[in-house]
């Protein structure tokens, strides 16, 4: 008699296949021969995951972490307010006009960009300051590329200082429930060390001639300092945005109000305007990024249901490779962030973390990892794209000359701070 072997359930196989295709798209930035970017791949993957598993719309929606999306949307509105008010450009122009030596000016610029990125979106900050930095370098006879790469690196480093500086930090803070103030206290020292290390490296390049001068360019029209796409400075709109941002930070630091609700109220206040049309503000919201988050939440939920991820983590832990080890988590975070981008990497790792310390580690290393490669973060790509519009080629080689050392310095700063805290018994959280 022949024993009957039942055919395997095709649902887990199809689920894994959808997951694999989606993350291949995250790695490639799209799918071959299809006009899909990462957001399109994530949305299509979510649709396929719903169909494969037979979920209702309500079941799929339950997989989405709505507080994260609300928080991200609210801060996009806040960043749009500051950009439309011309605040970022005005601050960068002011710093660029200071009569400082190159090394001192580099330090001032890095600090300002990092500070802005810690409170507002690092991507929007790079979008606003890049044209100004290009013109500053040209007017002084400097090669703009090293200054632009340094700005992108500083924006990424600075954004790691808070839970609102970039999308992956918002996700980590929302899902793991890390207190805002506790995170800042834990993240600020290694961020400051990383920023100081970046400045020291750039100062060395400036002193040794590694950033060559270029012929002075006569600047006229838009290139003379007024970019045609840059809103004029509006004191009232900038002040309004700063006041709302300041109050919101106080709420985060000193109250237990839900962050997403407070941020949504703040966004609503900013939308009440007699000068800025809501369509202008909404036009600067990164809707594709919100769709990317929603799609990946659904795709990852389907994959988690197979149990394969938990089994893989348990198998590695049995061999002494546990995510509870900060170095293991750092290696996993950096590697995955450069394979599939930092937001998808964080989504993959988050379900397997325990404790706020691991959340802080993942937030720092996944953000630092964005400096390693030109395609490692949207901020880098924004800078490269805007530079190209001015006829400046910022390829992966020129980025790596600064981005790779900046990443190594940042990770060493994090590791050194961890070692010092362990040696002195200082609690990082």
Q: Do the Cβ atoms of 169 and 363 come closer than 8 Å?
A: yes
Predicted pLDDT at 190: 96
Distance CA 107, CA 195 (A): 9
The least confident of 7-16, 131-140, 178-187, 395-404 is: 7-16
- Give 209's contacts (C-beta < 8 A, 6+ positions apart): none
Residues 6+ apart with CB under 8 A from 115: 158
Cβ neighbours of residue 238 under 8 Å, at least 6 residues apart? 82, 85, 86, 87, 90
Q: What is the pLDDT of residue 411?
A: 96
Residue 297: which of 343, 338, 264 has the closest Cα? 343
Query: What is the distance between the alpha carbons of residues 371 and 319, in angstroms, rounded to a whole number?
Result: 31
Tell me the pLDDT band of 2, cut-offs 50, 70 and 90. very low
| Structure confidence at residue 172 (pLDDT) | 95
Domain ranges of the chain: 65-424
**Residue 220, pLDDT score:** 44
Distance CA 112, CA 126 (A): 12
pLDDT at position 210 is: 59
Instruction: Give the separation between CA 140 and CA 77, rounded to whole angstroms.
Output: 35
The b/e string for 163-189 (b: 16+ C-beta within 10 A; e otherwise) is bbbbbbbbbbbbbbebbbeebbebbeb
What pLDDT score was predicted for residue 212? 54
Give the Cα separation of 414 and 190 in Å (integer).
5
pLDDT at 217: 54
Q: What mean pLDDT do residues 54-74 have?
A: 92
* Two structure tokens written together for 347: 């989504």
Region 25-36 average pLDDT = 88
Q: Please state the pTM of the whole predicted model.
A: 0.87
Does residue 222 register a pLDDT over 50? no
* CB contact set of 63 (below 8 Å; sequence gap of 6+): 297, 298, 300, 301, 302
Identify the helix (H) or strand (E) that includes residue 359.
helix 356-368
pLDDT band at 97 (very low <50, low <70, confident <90, very high): confident
CA separation for the pair 292, 45 (Å, rounded): 10
Angle at 62 (CA atoms; ends 30, 365), nearest 5 degrees: 55
What pLDDT is attached to residue 296? 93
Rg (CA), the chain: 22
Beta-carbon-side half-sphere exposure of residue 84 (alpha carbons within 13 Å): 24
- Using the predicted structure, report yes or no on whether residue 223 has a pLDDT greater than 70: no
Quote the mean pLDDT of the chain: 88
Residues 402-429 have a mean pLDDT of: 87
């Amino acid at each position: 008699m022949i024993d009957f072997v039942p055919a395997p359930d095709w649902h887990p196989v199809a689920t894994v296949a959808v997951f694999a295709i989606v993350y291949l798209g995250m790695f490639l930035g799209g799918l071959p021969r299809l006009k899909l970017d990462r957001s399109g791949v994530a949305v299509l993957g979510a649709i396929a995951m719903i169909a494969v598993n037979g979920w209702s719309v309500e079941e799929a929606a339950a997989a989405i972490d709505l507080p994260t999306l609300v928080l991200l949307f609210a801060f996009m509105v806040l960043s749009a307010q500051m950009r439309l008010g011309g605040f970022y450009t005005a601050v960068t122009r002011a710093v660029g006009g200071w009569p400082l030596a190159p090394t001192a000016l580099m330090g001032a610029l890095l600090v300002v960009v990092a500070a802005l990125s810690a409170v507002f979106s690092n991507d929007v900050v790079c979008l606003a300051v890049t044209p100004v930095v290009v013109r500053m370098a040209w007017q002084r006879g400097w090669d703009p590329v090293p200054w632009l790469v340094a700005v992108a690196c500083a924006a990424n480093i600075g954004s790691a200082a808070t839970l609102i500086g970039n999308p992956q930090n918002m996700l980590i803070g929302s899902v793991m429930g890390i207190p805002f103030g506790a995170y800042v206290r834990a993240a600020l020292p290694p961020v400051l060390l990383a920023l100081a290390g970046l400045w020291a490296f750039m100062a060395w390049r400036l002193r040794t001639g590694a950033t060559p001068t270029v012929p002075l360019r006569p600047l006229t029209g838009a290139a003379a300092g007024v970019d045609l796409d840059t809103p004029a400075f509006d004191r009232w709109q900038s002040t309004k945005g700063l006041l709302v941002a300041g109050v919101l930070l106080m709420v985060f630091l000193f109250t237990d109000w839900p962050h997403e609700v407070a941020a949504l109220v703040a966004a609503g206040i900013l939308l009440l305007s007699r000068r800025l049309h809501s369509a202008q503000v909404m036009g600067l919201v990164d809707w594709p990024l919100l769709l990317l988050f929603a799609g990946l939440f659904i795709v990852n939920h389907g994959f988690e249901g197979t149990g394969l991820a938990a089994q893989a983590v348990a198998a590695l832990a049995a061999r002494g490779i546990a995510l509870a080890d900060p170095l293991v988590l750092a290696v996993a975070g950096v590697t995955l962030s450069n394979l599939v981008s930092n937001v998808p990497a964080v989504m993959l790792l988050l379900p397997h973390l325990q404790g706020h310390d691991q959340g802080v580690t993942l937030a720092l290393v996944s953000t630092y990892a964005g400096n390693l490669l030109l395609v490692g973060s949207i901020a880098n790509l924004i800078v490269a794209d805007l530079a190209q519009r001015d006829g400046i080629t910022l390829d992966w080689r020129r980025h790596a000359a600064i981005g790779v050392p900046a990443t190594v310095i940042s990770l060493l700063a994090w590791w050194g701070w961890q070692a010092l805290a362990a040696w002195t018994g200082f609690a990082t959280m």
